[in-house]
Amino acid sequence: MLDELKQQVRELFAGDVGLVIAYGRSRDERTVPVFARKPADADALVWNDRCYYNLTRYLTDRDVMGDGEGKIGIVVKGCDLKTLNVLLAEKQVTRENLAVVALRCKGMKDADGKLLAKCETCTVADPDPALCDCVIGPVPQREPREDDFADVDAIEAMPPAERLAHWSREFERCLRCDACRNICPLCYCRECLASQHDPRWIPASGSATGNRLFHLVRAFHMAGRCTNCGECERVCPVGIPLSTLMRKGARIVRESFGVEPGAAPDQRSPLASFAPNDPDPEEVAIK
């Protein structure tokens, strides 16, 4: 499978692709995002169970993308493809400018060797060929379990005051390092609200208020868009359960609008658009 991937990438360079964002190896032998710019770079690509990065993140990185000329190749897993669909729907990238190489995936593991939570419930291990330029790899034998939202339910079971205390304790741990925001492919605002000085919407310092605002505002900005790639939670140095927060929003959107973010590249974003049959606010059961 890896050889097929390398060959595919080499062929992309023979075409009109100038940059391929893929997985490679760092000097200290860890799997890292790499930026191949010539056929020979394909030799160093890797594919393993530590390829957890959602590389679509780099499609909105202006330092990497340069002046946007030429076609960009990108290696994606099924989950990353969902995020790509949101980027396409939000017109941050154009399909014609991309060569999408999808990989069939057996699941990713964290630094301790444990299967990622999102992989346990994955239904996109075999990416839809209609959304990519090619799909590589054997069809994986996966038996995903249903996402039971147990972590979300556990918090919903708390009365409001307890819930506030729970999240306040979580956000107190926050260092405001911005790793969660910066790794998110959908946090692509050129000037993040949290960085604005004038007016200063969100306190810069790690104050209790500032931290709560930062995370709650981000959760709101993600609702209806986030495809639950889980990267935010993976990268948090202090282990804040950000995925739980994002999935809460995802569940509300699913139940109210019947929409799964990232299902298609032209899907409307329920909270960023209005349709006559949108549910009445009163009808939306928010627990």
Partner 1 sequence: MKSLYTPRLARVKSIVAETRDVRTLRLALEDAADPFDFTPGQFVELSVPRAGEATFCIASCPGDEGVLECSVKRVGAVTEAIHMLDPESLVGIRGPYGNGFPMDTLKGKDLLFVGGGIGLAPLRGLIREVLRSRDDYGGLAILYGARTAADRVYKDELDAWQGREDVRTVLTVDPGGELPDWKGRVGYVPDVLREMAPKPDDSVAVVCGPPIMIRLTLAAFDELGFDPERVLTSLELKMKCGVGQCGRCNVGPLYVCKDGPVFTCAQIKEFMEDIL
Partner 2 sequence: MIVKQDQLNARLDDLSKTMEVFAPVRERGRVYFRTVRSSGEIAWDYGVSVNSIKECFLPPRQVFLRYTSGGFETVPVANGRPRLVFLARPCDARGVTIMDKVFLGDRPDETYAALRERTTIVGLACDRPDEHCFCTSVGGSPAGTEGMDAALIPMGDGSYDLKVLSDKGRAVFPDAPADDGAIPEEFVRKAEAAVRRTVTIPETLRDSFGSDYWREVSQSCLKCGACAHLCPTCHCFDIVEEGDCRVRCWDYCQSDTFTKAAAGHDHRGAKFSRCRQRVYHKFDYYPENFGIVACVGCGRCARHCPVNSGISDLINGLNER
Q: Choose which of 2, 4, 11, 64 interacts with partner 2 (CB under 8 A).
A: 64
SS3 sequence, 72-97? EEEEECHHHHHHHHHHHHCCCCCHHH
63 binds partner 1 (CB under 8 A): no
CB nearer to partner 2: pick between 29 and 96: 29
Q: Which two tokens stand for residue 46?
A: 């890797």
Residue 11 vs residues 96, 131, 140, 229: alpha-carbon distances, Å: 17, 19, 25, 29
Which residues within the stretch 88-147 sit at the binding site for partner 2 (CB under 8 A)? 112
Q: What token pair was written down for 121? A: 């419930």
Identify what 235 binds: partner 2, partner 1, none; CB under 5 to 8 Å per kind: partner 2
Among candidate residues 279, 219, 222, 228, the one with its CA nearest the CA of residue 255: 279
Strand partners, 33: 23
Who's near 99: CB < 8 A, 6+ residues apart? 12, 15, 17, 20, 71, 72, 73, 74, 133
Minimum Å distance from CB 47 to partner 2? 16
The smaller minimum CB distance to partner 1, of residues 39 and 203, is found at 203
Binding status of residue 206 toward partner 2 by CB under 8 A: yes
- Residues 160 and 112: beta-carbon distance below 8 Å: no
Complex with partner 2: residue 215 or 234, whichever CB lies closer = 234
Pairing label, strands 17-25, 71-76: parallel
Give the shortest CB-28-to-partner 2 separation in angstroms: 6
CB of 193 to partner 1, least distance (A): 15
Q: Which stretch binds partner 2 (CB under 8 A): 20-28, 127-135, 245-253, 254-262?
A: 20-28
Please report whether residue 150 would count as binding partner 2 according to CB under 8 A. Answer: no
84 token code pair = 């790509």
Q: How far is the CB of 73 from partner 2 (least distance, A)?
A: 15
Q: How far is the CB of 181 from partner 1 (least distance, A)?
A: 21
97 neighbors 123 (Cβ within 8 angstroms): no
State the nearest-atom distance from the C-beta of 286 to partner 2, in Å: 28
199 makes contact, choosing from partner 1, partner 2, none, with CB < 5 to 8 Å by partner type, with partner 1
The residue range among 163-171, 192-200, 239-247, 256-264 that interacts with partner 1, by the rule CB under 8 A, is 192-200
Q: Does 199 bind partner 1 (CB under 8 A)?
A: yes
**Smallest distance, partner 2 to C-beta of residue 279, A:** 36
197 contributes a contact to partner 1 by CB under 8 A? yes
Residues at the site binding partner 2, with contacts judged by CB under 8 A:
26-28, 30-35, 53, 57-58, 61, 63-64, 112, 175-179, 181-183, 191-192, 195, 197-198, 200, 203-207, 231, 234-235, 237-239
Residues at the interface with partner 1 (CB under 8 A):
197-200
